Amino acid sequence: MERYYYISDNLNELEVVAQELEHNGLAKEQIRVLSQNDQGVAQRSLQGVTSFMKKDVVRSSVIGAAIGICLAGLVLLGAWLTGWPDTFTWIPFVLLAIVVLGFCTWEGGLWGIQEPNTEFRRFQKVLDHGKHLLLVDVDSNQMMALNNVWRGHPRLKHVGKGAPTPWIILRSHQWFNRFMRWAP
């Protein structure tokens, strides 16, 4: 599955494009709009990018957790090298390692709240000028439908492609959708 990016200056046109893509077999979850005009996106039958995904919280938290794992390992290694666990037991050092890991993960998340998502950072100037970004996640068997719809809208500008989030990939599988119908 790949993500394709398109720029438009007209939300009404993006609404028409989204409806055509849905009529050609794409799920609503595969089509999103990133815009500075969240109210305009919400007024139409468009799915906007959530405010959580506009920020770099997930990526920064993972980086913070990786740093925390390294520091927690250093705490445990330092305790082992000094021989203090023979005197005090391992419990304080294990708890300190857990606290260090949690703190670093938390700090990473706080850092990410302040930063725009790295996936969307390259489009920031375009968005600041009032344009809108259409994100379409497609499988190889859906490419023809995407190309047909795109050709019918000459004002829609293709600006690149990338990888979708793992959640979108999971949602696109039929077995997952069948399971979710039966899940409580």
Considering the chain, what percentage of its residues have pLDDT values greater than 90? 56
- Reduced to 3 states, what is the DSSP secondary structure of residue 34? strand
95-144, pLDDT tens digit by residue?
999 999 999 999 999 999 999 888 888 899 999 999 999 999 998 889 99
For residue range 15-33, list pLDDT tens digits in order.
999 999 999 989 888 999 9
Q: What is the DSSP string of 110-162?
A: HHHHHSB-TTTGGGHHHHHTT-EEEEEEE-GGGHHHHHHHHHT-TT-EEEEEE
Cβ-based neighbours of 48, under 8 Å, separated by 6 or more: 32, 33, 34, 35, 38, 41, 42
38 — pLDDT class (breaks 50, 70, 90):
confident
pLDDT of amino acid 173: 53
